[in-house]
Structure 1
Amino acid sequence: MSARFEQNPADVLARLGTLRQGDAPTHGGRVLSYVYDSGLAELDDLAASAIRAVQPVNALDPTTFTSVAVMEREVIGFAREVFHGDEQVVGTVTSGGTESCLLAVKTARELWRVDAARRARAGGVEPGTRVPRILAPSTVHAAFHKAADYFGLRLELVPVDPASGLPRAEDFAALLADADDVALVVLSAPAYPHGVIDPIREVSALAAAAGVSCHVDACFGGFVLPWWPGLDAAGWDLQLPGVTSLSADLHKYGYAPKGASVLLQRGRDRQRQQYFATTGWPGYPVVNSTLLGSKSAAALAAAWAITQSLGTSGFAELTASCARATAALTATINGIEGLRVVGKPTGPAIAVAVDDSVEPERRVDPHHWADQARAHGWQLQLQPGFTHSDGSRLPATAHLTVTPVTESRLPELTAALVAAADEVRGVPAVDVTPLLASLGGAFGGALPPELDADAAYGLLQAIGLAPDAGAAGTGSAALPERLAPFLALVEALPPAVAEPLLTELIARLVEPA
């Protein structure tokens, strides 16, 4: 049997190659976010071979495709060992950190509902309609905002100290004093924005005393922290009895291709609340451990092959490279007048803010710095400032994710960071007040309280960020070369305007021309 192709497959692949030329580079360490380059070509080759071997497999049913069960079992076993889980800890491989976080929240919500119903029966009343809460630092990953939205919980954010990036345990204690409607406490190891580890030992003990589940989100740094120099794992992982679940991404510092994370849960009965199962239709019985039904086994197979090949000694060696590079970059940044590292990062992430202690003409705005570093060929991630509900404010920062390949590029990277700072020193942060006034004029005097799709697109056009439909076939991005003005605008706009605006930007990028 042969197929009649409308386009020559070689031509299709050639066009894909052209499109990929417009992407940020995934290897070589020039993009300090999103990608996790081990620097080992043989790991990439190993992952590609493993993916090819399972390309047709449907991981929906491990009783039909038994290789899936073996690989998942062994990946979970590896994770349970490195995160010091006992025999009561069970787990699941998911499609990524967001799915792991969603499932941790879903599990906690189900357990809270059972407990709330039990308390209501004991009191002789009907179950109430209270909305369960999640307690988390303001630096918790956005996946938990999504989980609260999807599963009908209320996310209550605990402010963090602007200097250290850390929340106070006593703030959690106060919120847990009346814990009947608290379903979950979430803490990060480390928190992505600033790379610092939350006070997990103290707060998990408070959660346990209150009878509340506690999840450790180690999605970002989980597979480096067990080997990080000088870090006591007993302060953050499953050795702490109050930690009831933990997530860690295999497609970050597990060096697997995107689409693999692990969620560990303390106890079979707890973990089974994560599952969905039904016989309530005339088709095959459905049992899903994750949000997805049919799913590829590709990322699982790649993660399995990498963990099997590297083992703990291989991960320790790669982590040592990350640690050396992080220390060197921290020292470089601390030596740049006008910049400061936020807090004391533990792990391979650094957040850099302006140093307000020097005179304005000597300060370096981190967003201008990041834009200038991009002009030198290095991509840092811009993070807007954030105002807590109590009025305290986290500064705008530039984020650097360090990977093993970074160490080999340190001389040119540090030179670029120093040069970029020198080139923008004294340039004030972007003031978007005039732009906001002009945009408000376009809407009859003031920006609308909320935006529909057409209004959001009109606003994108007004600021010069409307995606070009004519460039849809070239892979061209809509964002300008310098992102500081755009981030300043996002920071200044109310969420009811900024969020539809960002949604429209991404949505229009993939609409057919």
Structure 2
Amino acid sequence: MTAAAEVLAELRALRAGDLPTHGARTLAYVYDSGLSGVDELAAEAHALAAHANGLDPTAFPSLLRLENELVATTAELVGGTEHTVGAVTSGGTESCLLAVLAARTGAPEVREPAMVLPETAHAAFHKAAHFFGVRAVPVPVDPVTFRADPAAMAAAMDERTVLVVASAPSYAHGVLDPIAEIAAAAAARGIRMHVDACIGGWVLPHLGVPPFGFDVPGVTSVSVDLHKYAYCPKGVSVLLHAGAELRRGHYFASADWPGYTMLNTTVQSTRSGGPLAAAWAVVRHIGADGYRRLALDARAAAEEIAAGIGKIDGLRVLGAPDSTLVALALDGTPGFDLFTVADEMSARNWYVQPQFAHGVSPSNLHLTLSAANRGHEREFLADLESAVTVARAAGPVEVDPRVLEFVAALDPEGLTSEQFAGLLAAAGLGDGGAVPARMAEVNTLLAAAPPRLRERLLLEFLGQLHH
């Protein structure tokens, strides 16, 4: 048996190689309230319920109460009524999956069902389309604002559409889609309307933006993540429906075996009570007033950073962000590479997330700002300006044009695993799954690859990481 202290020491050593989850320097994946004591509260609450099983609420009624209270709190935040119901899930992807599943199951008469979504909708909906046999119909967005086009969305709806999706806000650009207009078009056809508020549901209600939840006629479901701007540990999300009948399609029951009758409200069967209890404790502790202050701080940080980006020669902000997410891109042809800027920010201990060009959206760097970023805006902007200066001196990333042309012409369906391994090695990702310290050249190659080829390349790389 290994001593507990030794095990924990090894774990701490391993964690030292990760991106920091606190300190406001990792601008994707994690959310930092900056509040003291919240992590300790969450950890204690998690430990109290970690071994309880959400599979059977009659066996663990405490978990049922915690879930119902989280659902009620979330519903109140996004315009829920006395009819609103919900389920706590493992994260935003599961919430989106279940929204699509409920819509598909709720329209059994529709053959070859489809869902209409703006091209900026989260990739989770494409995952749902893949899992559940629902055809995704992406609709181009406005090339300047990056918001969904209500008229184009309405034109894409037909007799096979079982769900329409909009974002509050979109992840890539942080803009709020015109929910009311899209919901009205869906309601006129009798189609369900889902609002993906996974990243905005706990922030937007405090920012004076137009309604986006159940107070908008035609909205039938809303997803909200608590492990984002409710600052709860991973992974807790809430999927809400306007009524119980709409939710029934993602419930599952099976009595067709000799064991217990299995009843599931989500994709999972066994569910640890730990994340649920941790989220409940954090939400109770911070409270409505606390969340309002955190939302305003995060928004103020986003506004100040967006304004500062606009003053840096060669950079611009995409769209006009409504919330706490900012995407920065090159302004014109400034003679430097955005991926080099990302590398230089990493060298200055900031993680900014590269996003490749897609549709009307150019390559850009994504920033998720949290409440803890308030007060550190000048430091970030100074480092960003310094990174741009170094990138400008370095010039554009140079990759052999013949390699770029070759990569762009490849057919991902016709390549073997061995050929993919060779491509990964050529891209600098082939050394046993090791990631190079500087990614600009790798990202330039990936940006040149068509989306399907990029998917296959990165899936093969993922396969190298996981034994």
2:176 is the counterpart of 1:206: no
Q: How much is the aligned-residue C-alpha RMSD, in angstroms?
A: 1.8
2:113 is the counterpart of 1:132: yes
For 1:294 and 1:302, the matched residues in 2 are separated by 17
Give the alignment of 1:271-310 within 5 angstroms.
271-310=247-286
Secondary structure of the 1:136 match is strand
Which letter does structure 2 place at the counterpart of 1:231? V
2:466 is the counterpart of 1:484: no
Which letter does structure 1 place at the counterpart of 2:368? T
Matching residue within 349, 354, 357 for 2:330: 354
CA-to-aligned-CA distance 1:446-469 (integer Å, 9 cap, x gap): 66643343332222122221243x
Which letter does structure 2 place at the counterpart of 1:398? L
For 1:432 and 1:491, the matched residues in 2 are separated by 14
Give the alignment of 1:11-410 within 5 angstroms.
11-114=6-109, 116=110, 130-176=111-157, 179-228=158-207, 230-232=208-210, 234=211, 236-356=212-332, 360=333, 362=334, 364-387=336-359, 393-410=360-377
State whether residues 118 and 153 of structure 2, in contact with CA within 8 Å, keep that contact through their aligned partners in structure 1. no
Which letter does structure 2 place at the counterpart of 1:239? D
CA shift, 1:318, in A, is 0.5
State whether residues 337 and 363 of structure 1, in contact with CA within 8 Å, keep that contact through their aligned partners in structure 2. no
**Structure 2 residues without counterparts, runs of 5 or longer:** none
Secondary structure of the 1:399 match is strand
Secondary structure of the 1:370 match is helix
**Structure 1 residues without counterparts, runs of 5 or longer:** 117-129, 388-392, 469-476
CA shift, 1:282, in A, is 1.0
Which letter does structure 2 place at the counterpart of 1:368? T
Which letter does structure 1 place at the counterpart of 2:438? R
For 2:449 and 2:20, the matched residues in 1 are separated by 31
1:8 to 1:87, Cα distance in 2 relative to 1, 3 A? same
State whether residues 432 and 492 of structure 1, in contact with CA within 8 Å, keep that contact through their aligned partners in structure 2. no
Secondary structure of the 1:164 match is coil
CA-to-aligned-CA distance 1:131-157 (integer Å, 9 cap, x gap): 111110111101001000000011011
State whether residues 427 and 445 of structure 2, in contact with CA within 8 Å, keep that contact through their aligned partners in structure 1. no
How high is the TM-score relative to the length of structure 1?
Answer: 0.87
For 2:434 and 2:112, the matched residues in 1 are separated by 40
For 2:180 and 2:412, the matched residues in 1 are separated by 45
How high is the TM-score relative to the length of structure 2?
Answer: 0.96
The aligned residue for residue 464 of structure 1 is 428
State whether residues 175 and 319 of structure 2, in contact with CA within 8 Å, keep that contact through their aligned partners in structure 1. yes
CA shift, 1:256, in A, is 0.7
CA shift, 1:368, in A, is 2.3
In percent, how many aligned pairs have the same letter?
43
CA-to-aligned-CA distance 1:391-434 (integer Å, 9 cap, x gap): xx320010000001101322321210111122223733665633
Secondary structure of the 1:351 match is strand
Which is worse superposed, 135-144 or 8-17? Answer: 8-17
For 1:448 and 1:244, the matched residues in 2 are separated by 38
1:96 to 1:432, Cα distance in 2 relative to 1, 3 A? farther
For 1:327 and 1:172, the matched residues in 2 are separated by 29
Q: How many aligned positions are there?
A: 466
Secondary structure of the 1:41 match is coil
1:419 to 1:457, Cα distance in 2 relative to 1, 3 A? same
